Amino acid sequence: MKNIVRIENIVIGNDYPLAFILGPCVVEDREMLFTVAKKLIKIQKQLDIPVIFKSSYKKANRTSDTSFIGIGMDEALKMIGEVKNEFGFPLITDVHTEAECAAAAEVVDILQIPAFLCRQTELLRAAGSTGKPVNIKKGQFMAPENMKFQAEKVLNAGSGGVIFTERGTTFGYNDLVVDMRSIPVMQSTGYPVVFDATHSVQVPGGATEITGGRPEFVAPLAKAAVAAGCDALFIETHPDPPRAKSDAGSQLALDKLQDVIREVILIRDALT
Q: What pLDDT band is residue 65 in, cutting at 50, 70 and 90?
A: low
Asked if 55 contacts 244 with a C-beta cutoff of 8 angstroms, the reply is no
Q: What pLDDT band is residue 206 in, cutting at 50, 70 and 90?
A: low
Quick one: average pLDDT of 227-237?
98
**Alpha-carbon gap, residue 171 to 239, rounded angstroms:** 30
Residues 6 or more apart whose Cβ sits within 8 Å of residue 49 = 17, 18, 19, 20, 43, 261, 265
Residues 6 or more apart whose Cβ sits within 8 Å of residue 207 = 249
Residues 6 or more apart whose Cβ sits within 8 Å of residue 149 = none
Residues 6 or more apart whose Cβ sits within 8 Å of residue 168 = 140, 176, 177, 178, 196, 199, 200, 201, 202
Asked if 132 contacts 108 with a C-beta cutoff of 8 angstroms, the reply is yes
Q: What is the pLDDT of residue 85?
A: 98
In this predicted model, which residue has the larger pLDDT, 63 or 198?
Answer: 198
Q: Which domains does the chain have, with CATH numbers?
A: 16-271 (3.20.20.70)
Strand partners, 177: 169
Q: Is the C-alpha dihedral spanning 78, 82, 88, 92 positive or negative?
A: negative
pLDDT tens profile 253-264 = 999 999 999 999
Mean pLDDT value across the chain: 94
Q: What is the pLDDT of residue 204?
A: 80
pLDDT tens profile 24-45 = 999 999 999 999 999 999 999 9
16-20, 117-121, 211-215, 250-254 — which is least confidently predicted? 211-215
Q: What is the pLDDT of residue 70?
A: 84
Asked if 136 contacts 154 with a C-beta cutoff of 8 angstroms, the reply is yes
Q: What is the pLDDT of residue 210?
A: 61
Percent of the chain with pLDDT over 70: 94
Asked if 215 contacts 257 with a C-beta cutoff of 8 angstroms, the reply is no
Q: What is the pLDDT of residue 100?
A: 96
Q: What is the pLDDT of residue 103?
A: 96
Q: What is the pLDDT of residue 59?
A: 78
